[in-house]
Amino acid sequence: MGIEWRESLAIGVEAIDNQHKELLLRFDRLLTACQTGQGIEELKKLQAFLGEYVHSHFSDEEALQRLHHYPEYEAHLAQHAYFIEQVNKLEEETKSEGISTHHVVETNNMLLKWLLNHISKVDKELGRFIKSSTAR
């Protein structure tokens, strides 16, 4: 059971949608790896990827919000900060304890769930705002 990009997750900004696709693809690799007992190895790869990608993705999204004078900017920023905090926490934990299965489960449960919820609600809202402000 994997996770797939679907049109309902599109926010209508191509660059951002492509970044979301990439993120989901990486999480999907983790889910797939879990089925063959490779979860721990794949989590290492995902962590290395997220460390950089999440920062550049969020800063692209935030720049877009500033460009459009998005009124929910501060709240959106706080959500991004929360996710980065979770990624960092996981990083610290796995560095000090080593990666174990519960980190893999946590990543699937927590990080992926957050991401899907964030894209489908918070980022979609941003997409709607941009659409309506550029239509004016």
Provide, rounded to whole angstroms, the least separation between the CB of residue 123 and Fe ion: 5
Q: Does position 17 bind Fe ion by CB under 5 A?
A: no
Closer by beta carbon to Fe ion, 42 or else 123:
123
Q: With beta carbons less than 8 A apart as the criterion, state whether 46 and 30 touch.
A: yes
The count of residues in the chain is: 136
What's at 16, amino acid-wise?
I
Residues of span 55-84 touching Fe ion by CB under 5 A: 61
Tell me the number of residues near Fe ion by CB under 5 A. 2
Quick one: which of 103, 76, 72, 79 has its CA closest to 90?
A: 103
- Residue 40 or 64: which CB sits closer to Fe ion? 64
From residue 2, give the alpha-carbon distance in Å to each of 25, 30, 39: 9, 9, 13
Q: Does 42 bind Fe ion (CB under 5 A)?
A: no
123 binds Fe ion (CB under 5 A): yes
User: Which residues here bind Fe ion, judged by CB under 5 A?
Assistant: 61, 123
